[in-house]
């Protein structure tokens, strides 16, 4: 009887914790797999800016928009970011 009195108040809190951990794990896996929150940008929730890595020096640089890759040069070495 005492075990039932102790476990019933703890059950809703434990259930909520499991749900929150499942949501957090899903979001973490999404971020790890795709490397971006782009889905939420397209839904209008985040300000997404694409990034590109310079093939010459390896510098990672944020771009103003998706179309800027073709004409953008690396901030450090000046090499073009798009290798066609």
Per-residue pLDDT band for 21 (boundaries 50, 70, 90) equals very high
The 10 Å Cβ neighbour count of residue 45 is 10
Residue ranges of the domains in the chain?
A: 1-46, 49-84
pLDDT in tens, 30-56: 877 777 766 655 555 556 677 777 777
- Give me the pLDDT at residue 56, please: 79
Between residues 8 and 44, which one has the greater pLDDT?
Answer: 8
Between residues 21 and 62, which one has the greater pLDDT?
Answer: 21
- pLDDT surpasses 70 at 84: no
Is 81 within 8 Å of 73 (Cβ atoms)? yes
pLDDT in tens, 65-78: 777 777 777 777 87
User: What one-character-per-residue DSSP string does 13-72 give?
Assistant: HHHHHHHHHHHHHHHHHHHHHHSS-HHHHHTTSS----EEE-TTT--EEE-SSGGGGTT-
Contact partners, residue 72, CB within 8 Å, separation at least 6: 52, 61, 63, 80, 81, 82
CA dist 15 and 11 (Å) reads 6
């Amino acid at each position: 009887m005492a075990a039932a009195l102790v476990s019933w108040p703890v059950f809703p809190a434990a259930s909520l914790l499991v749900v929150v951990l499942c949501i957090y794990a899903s979001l973490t896996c999404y971020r790890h797999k795709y490397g971006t929150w782009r889905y939420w940008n397209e839904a209008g929730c985040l300000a997404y800016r694409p990034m590109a890595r310079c093939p010459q020096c390896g510098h990672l640089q944020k771009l103003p928009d998706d179309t800027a890759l073709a004409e953008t040069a690396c901030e450090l070495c000046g090499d073009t970011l798009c290798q066609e």
